[in-house]
Amino acid sequence: MPSFVTHLEAAIDGTRLPHDVIQTMHKDRPLWVRYDLDAVRRAVDPQQIAMRPPTLWRYRELLPQPDDVKPVTLGEGMTPLLPAPRLGEELGLVDLWIKDESQLPTGSFKSRGLAMAITMAGHYGISRVAIPTAGNAGGALAAYAARAGIEAFVFMPRDTPVINQMECVAAGAKVYLVNGLITDCGAIVRKGTEQMGWFDCSTLKEPYRLEGKKTMGLELAEQFEWQLPDVILYPTGGGTGLIGMWKAFSELRALGWLKSEKTPRMIAVQSDGCAPIPLAFDAGDRFARPWENACTCASGLRVPAAVGDFMILDAVRESGGLAVAVPESEIVEAMRSAISAEGISFCPEAATCMLAARKLVAQRRIARDQRVVLFNTGAAIKYVETMPLDLPTIDNPHAVDYTALD
Ligand SMILES: *Cc1c(COP(=O)(O)O)cnc(C)c1O
């Protein structure tokens, strides 16, 4: 059995495409990977999966790489699912959980998607890849490309966090700063695919990053003993994580692995400095209009136009969820306050979800006692610019006046 993949399917119109050749998009829109789920059900069950090593590759029957292909891996997956009682109390929730993706290789959940994309790129014999990035995707691509011995080109806006610039350079990628937004970086990559022979690893422009991100949903289900929570709050940029999890839940339902019919309400959260998805959601539109002058310290959410906008909005609506924007001006303080409540390395993107949770609880759109999962998609320590420090200094360490320290 090479893999359980049957075909690829255009998300925009259902066109079937073969998966044994390199595919990118159809009509400039993303592709779904489809599996023979009846065959998966016969091949494996949750008890067998429970015995496997704690990485995302434990779900290999639900992943696209053929049997004989060795994953390009840094040990990613099975991140902790942590109860967060103190933060819950601040937000008005009694059953709040954090899926802590900050502990993944390269410090963000981008490693899930790029481990998968680079594994598949290697399988198809691709030797040069390129990516436009708001930061973390570039870092993850650079690391996995290094691991696989593939050449990587990274294009990032000039104001991308310095750690992201550094991690790409350190991993040997060719890195370029662009005077513009991630969409401008995307245009550079698109043009270069022809002239430079790059393979475009942009969000949702190849089908396999989504399958890597899907594993967040598979892990969540397994960690909650195959019963899904009531609500998922997800900081949404390009939307792969949210779309991927919703796909995971539908595959699990088809497999019959879920112990209850309940599926979570998916809540897509953005900053009001760049909120194309909430705007389209409120307007009842299926496609989002590009956001002008996108500006947010949550760099992973600085995505003015997402190629999978309709997939995000479809998933949110099918789930009975919401898309909400929160004040940019409150993100850094929410982040600091949450880290001090729980000791978890929350990124500014995750902080938007805390602001959303507080607002939705106050509006009674999330009930106090519901089981809520908030995704911490990256590590605070990657964002050294977001929290300006002005710390007291001890000038003479040999003559400290301890009473003055209080
Ligand atoms: C990329 C990124 C996001 C947005 O992820 P999508 O799944 O593309 O919506 C959120 N948080 C962080 C830290 C990111 O790096």
Any domain includes 379 = yes
Per the domain annotation, does 101 fall within a domain?
yes
Least-confidence region, from 144-153, 180-189, 222-231: 180-189
Q: Number of structural domains, the chain?
A: 1
Q: How confident is the model at residue 317 (pLDDT cuts 50, 70, 90)?
A: very high
Task: Indicate the Cα dihedral angle 96, 101, 102, 106, nearest 10°.
Answer: -170
State which of 108, 114, 344 you would mutate to test the pocket of ligand 1, scoring each by most atoms of that ligand within 8 A of its C-beta.
Answer: 108
Residue 134 has what pLDDT?
86
387 has pLDDT over 90: no
* Tens digit of each residue's pLDDT (9 = 90 or more) over 30-47: 999 999 999 999 999 999
Tell me what the mean pLDDT of segment 324-352 comes to.
98
| Ligand 1 pocket check for 161: Cβ under 6 Å | no
d(CA 107, CA 244): 19
- Looking at residue 388, its pLDDT comes to 84
**Is the C-beta atom of 106 inside 6 A of ligand 1?**
no
Give the Å distance between the CA of 51 and the centre of ligand 1. 30
Give per-residue pLDDT as tens, 173-198.
999 999 988 889 999 999 998 888 89
Residue 136 CA: which ligand 1 atom is closest?
15
CATH number reported for the structural domain that contains residue 304 in this entry: 3.40.50.1100
Confirm whether 152 is domain-assigned.
no
In the predicted model, what is the mean pLDDT of the chain?
Answer: 96
Cα-based distances in Å from 168 to 26, 92, 104, 143, 212: 30, 39, 16, 7, 20
Is the minimum distance from the CB of 90 to ligand 1 under 6 angstroms?
no
267 is a domain residue:
yes
Cβ of 210 below 6 Å from ligand 1 = no
Confirm or reject: Cβ of 244 under 6 Å from ligand 1: no
Can you tell me which atom of ligand 1 is nearest the CA of 213?
7
| Of 352, 327, 344, nearest in space to 381 by CA | 344
300 is a domain residue: yes
What residue owns the CA closest to ligand 1's atom 3? 300
* Residue 138 Cβ < 6 Å to ligand 1: no
Alpha helices in 25-129 (DSSP H): 37-43, 46-50, 85-91, 110-123
In a domain, 224, yes or no: yes
Tell which one of 103, 111, 136, 141 to mutate to probe ligand 1, the residue whose CB is within 8 A of the most ligand atoms: 136
CA of 308 to the centre of ligand 1 (A): 13
Q: Residue 1 has what pLDDT?
A: 59
186 within a domain of the structure (yes/no): no
pLDDT of residue 247: 98
Confidence of residue 389 (pLDDT cuts 50, 70, 90): confident
* CB of residue 163 inside a 6 A radius of ligand 1: no
Any domain includes 117: no
**How far, in Å, is the centroid of ligand 1 from the Cα of 149?**
25
Q: What's the pLDDT tens digit per position in 247-306?
A: 999 999 999 999 998 999 999 999 999 999 999 999 999 999 999 999 999 999 999 999
- Expressed as residue numbers, the domain containing 333 is 81-107+208-384
d(CA 95, CA 85): 7
State which of 215, 301, 344, 376 you would mutate to test the pocket of ligand 1, scoring each by most atoms of that ligand within 8 A of its C-beta: 301
Pocket mutation for ligand 1, best pick of 102, 103, 106, 109 (most atoms within 8 Å of C-beta): 109
